[in-house]
Amino acid sequence: MSKFVFITGGVVSSLGKGLTSASIGLLLKSRGFRIEMLKMDPYLNVDPGTMNPFQHGEVYVTEDGAETDLDLGHYERFVGQHMYQRNNITSGRVYSSVIHAERQGDYDGATVQVVPHITNAIKESWKKLENPNVDIIMIELGGTVGDIEGLAFLEAMRQFQLERPVEDVAFIHMTLIPYLKASGEIKTKPTQHSVEKLRGIGIQPDVLICRTVLPITEEHRRKIALFCNVRPENVIEEQDVEYSIYQVPVMLMEEKVDQILAKRLNLELPPIDLSRWNAMLEKVRNPKGEVKIAVVGKYISLTDSYKSIYEALTHAGIENEVKIDLQKVESEEIEEKGAEAVLQGVDGILVPGGFGNRGIQGKIDAVRYARENKIPFLGICLGLQCAVSEFARNVCGIKDAGSVEWMEPGKEEMDRAVVALMDSQQNVVERGGTMRLGAYACWLHEGTKAREAYGAEMIRERHRHRFEVNPQFVERLKKGGLVISGNNPDSELVEIIEIPDHPWFVATQAHPEFRSRPVEAHPLFRDFVKAAKAKKQI
User: Do 297 and 281 touch, CB atoms closer than 8 A?
Assistant: no
Identify whether 435 is part of a domain.
Answer: yes
The pLDDT value given to residue 409: 65
58 assigned to active site: no
Nearest to 138 by CA among 258, 56, 307, 308: 258
- Provide the pairing of β-strand 483-487 with 467-469: unpaired
Catalytic residue among 220, 315, 463, 511: 511
Identify whether 115 is part of a domain.
Answer: no
User: Do 137 and 2 touch, CB atoms closer than 8 A?
Assistant: yes
User: Do 483 and 497 touch, CB atoms closer than 8 A?
Assistant: yes
User: Which pTM does this prediction carry?
Assistant: 0.94
Domain range for 137 is: 3-89+130-279
Domains contained in the chain, number: 2
Q: What are phi and psi of 518, to 5 degrees?
A: -60, -30
Q: How far apart are CA 422 and CA 472, in angstroms?
A: 12
Identify whether 10 is part of a domain.
Answer: yes
Query: Looking at the structure, do residues 77 and 179 belong to the same domain, yes or no?
Result: yes
Q: Where are the alpha helices (DSSP H) in 214-256?
A: 218-228, 248-254
228 assigned to active site: no
Domain boundary among 226, 248, 279: 279
Query: Looking at the structure, do residues 329 and 257 belong to the same domain, yes or no?
Result: no
CA 146 to chain CA centroid, Å, is 26
User: Do 313 and 290 touch, CB atoms closer than 8 A?
Assistant: no
Query: Looking at the structure, do residues 223 and 159 belong to the same domain, yes or no?
Result: yes
DSSP assignments along 112-145, one per residue: P-IIIIIHHHHHHHHHTT--TT-SEEEEEE-S-T
Identify whether 447 is part of a domain.
Answer: yes
User: Do 137 and 4 touch, CB atoms closer than 8 A?
Assistant: yes
* Alpha-carbon Rg for the chain in angstroms: 25
User: Do 529 and 351 touch, CB atoms closer than 8 A?
Assistant: no
User: Do 415 and 396 touch, CB atoms closer than 8 A?
Assistant: no
The pLDDT value given to residue 472: 93
The pLDDT value given to residue 433: 65
82 assigned to active site: no
Identify whether 116 is part of a domain.
Answer: no
- Provide the pairing of β-strand 428-429 with 417-422: antiparallel
The pLDDT value given to residue 357: 79
Nearest to 508 by CA among 456, 445, 433, 442: 442
Q: How far apart are CA 472 and CA 191, in angstroms?
A: 62
Tell me whether the omega of the peptide bond preceding residue 116 falls within 30 degrees of 0, making it cis: yes
Query: Looking at the structure, do residues 390 and 244 belong to the same domain, yes or no?
Result: no
The pLDDT value given to residue 404: 87
366-375 long-range contacts (CB < 8 A, ≥24 apart) are 366/294, 366/296, 366/329, 366/331, 366/334, 366/339, 368/339, 368/394, 369/339, 369/340, 369/343, 370/505, 371/499, 371/502, 371/505, 374/502, 374/503, 375/343, 375/346, 375/347, 375/348, 375/349, 375/503, 375/535
Longest dimension (CA), the chain: 75
Give pLDDT tens digits for 39-84. Answer: 999 999 888 877 766 666 799 999 999 999 999 999 999 999 999 9
CA 5 to chain CA centroid, Å, is 22
Residue 474 sits in a domain whose CATH number is: 3.40.50.880
Query: Looking at the structure, do residues 15 and 149 belong to the same domain, yes or no?
Result: yes
Contacts of 199 (CB under 8 A, 6+ apart): 229
Nearest to 513 by CA among 310, 252, 210: 310
Domain boundary among 260, 279, 298: 279
Residue 137 sits in a domain whose CATH number is: 3.40.50.300
The pLDDT value given to residue 538: 54
Q: What are phi and psi of 15, to 5 degrees?
A: -80, -20
- CA count, 13 A, side-chain hemisphere, 244: 24
Identify whether 122 is part of a domain.
Answer: no
Query: Looking at the structure, do residues 315 and 406 belong to the same domain, yes or no?
Result: yes
The pLDDT value given to residue 407: 78
Distance in angstroms between the alpha carbons of the first and the last residue of the chain: 53
Query: Looking at the structure, do residues 390 and 487 belong to the same domain, yes or no?
Result: yes
User: Do 465 and 435 touch, CB atoms closer than 8 A?
Assistant: yes
Residue 68's beta-bridge partner residues?
60
Cβ neighbours of 44 (radius 10 Å): 13
Q: How far apart are CA 360 and CA 305, in angstroms?
A: 17
Identify whether 94 is part of a domain.
Answer: no
Collapsed DSSP state (helix, strand, coil) of residue 105:
coil
Domain boundary among 246, 279, 312: 279
User: Do 4 and 206 touch, CB atoms closer than 8 A?
Assistant: no
Query: Looking at the structure, do residues 302 and 446 belong to the same domain, yes or no?
Result: yes
Query: Looking at the structure, do residues 319 and 426 belong to the same domain, yes or no?
Result: yes
Query: Looking at the structure, do residues 309 and 362 belong to the same domain, yes or no?
Result: yes
Collapsed DSSP state (helix, strand, coil) of residue 6:
strand
Residue stretches of the chain with pLDDT short of 50 = none
Catalytic residue among 381, 386, 396, 442: 381
Identify whether 84 is part of a domain.
Answer: yes
Q: How far apart are CA 208 and CA 171, in angstroms?
A: 9
Query: Looking at the structure, do residues 451 and 341 belong to the same domain, yes or no?
Result: yes
At position 215, the amino acid (one-letter code) is P
The residue ranges of DSSP E strands in 50-101, in sequence order, are 60-61, 67-68, 88-90
Collapsed DSSP state (helix, strand, coil) of residue 31:
coil
Catalytic residue among 140, 335, 513, 522: 513
CA angle, residues 523, 248, 315, in degrees to nearest 5: 15
Query: Looking at the structure, do residues 369 and 418 belong to the same domain, yes or no?
Result: yes
Q: How far apart are CA 494 and CA 486, in angstroms?
A: 6
The pLDDT value given to residue 46: 85
